[in-house]
Amino acid sequence: MKWILLFVMPLVMATNPKIDKEKCTCNELPLYGRVQVVETGADLDVRIVEASPDLEVVIVNSSPLHCGQWQFVETNPDIRIRFVKTSQDLDVRFVKSSPGF
């Protein structure tokens, strides 16, 4: 029984419980859409990583309708994020294609 825990626990700990991959949300907030970067009052704290991201993001100029598509805006955002180095809600890696999980 102990050996099962040795294999199962790392898998459980490796996933972010705040993320719902089916709905493409984190803390019930969409991980696609119009995104505004703020210093205070953020909906999510985001850390940029090079390896093992929670989400791969593609920056688009319009119609961010699919998981991982972000359009950066100054007004009327769907979600406000703050870039941080620690204590993040979400790790992202910016990519040129194939956004999502």
Q: What is the DSSP letter of 77?
A: -
The whole-model pTM stands at: 0.82
C-alpha distances in Å from residue 57, one per residue of 3, 9, 11, 45:
37, 28, 23, 15
* pLDDT tens-digit profile, the chain (101 residues): 444 444 444 444 455 768 999 999 999 999 999 999 999 999 999 999 999 999 999 999 999 999 999 999 999 999 999 999 999 999 999 999 999 98
* Cα 46 to Cα 24: distance, rounded to the nearest angstrom: 15
The whole-number pLDDT of residue 3 equals: 44
